[in-house]
Homo-oligomer: A and B are copies of this chain.
């Protein structure tokens, strides 16, 4: 399966806005837009990628084990992020009324598959 196909699979969840495979450097390998959004979702993902790097460093520093997931909810957008390996992570932006549990589940399932393909 291509990156795009994995992301399309993830974007089937109710409320999906966009999904992406991104590097910790903020550069996306592949992005899928599931529905039009008034938000600058790509810029948001880049902003959050910087935060992911910092969260990972904090987790390392505190020896609480490798980072497994981060969720950031604002009034208008719920974003889930999940590391794939030490260089890349998955992002899924959703509407706040979307199926959060399923979105997180789909990222958890896709991450190890993508890891094998990267």
Q: Place the interface of chain A in its size category.
A: 20 to 34
Q: Per-residue 0/1 for A35-74: is the Cβ within 8 Å of any B Cβ (1 yes, 0 no)? A: 0000110011001100100110011011111111111111
Q: Are A72 and B59 in touch, CB under 8 angstroms? A: yes
Nearest-CB distance from A110 to chain B (Å)?
16
Most B C-beta atoms less than 10 A away, residue of A59, A63, A72:
A72
Residues in A62-88 with C-beta less than 8 Å from chain B: 62-77
Q: Could you say which of B47, B66, B68 contacts A61, with CB atoms under 8 Å apart?
A: B47
A70-B72, A72-B70 given as contacts; is B44 within 8 A of A64 (CB)? yes
Taking CB atoms, residues of chain B closer than 8 Å to A67 are 72-74
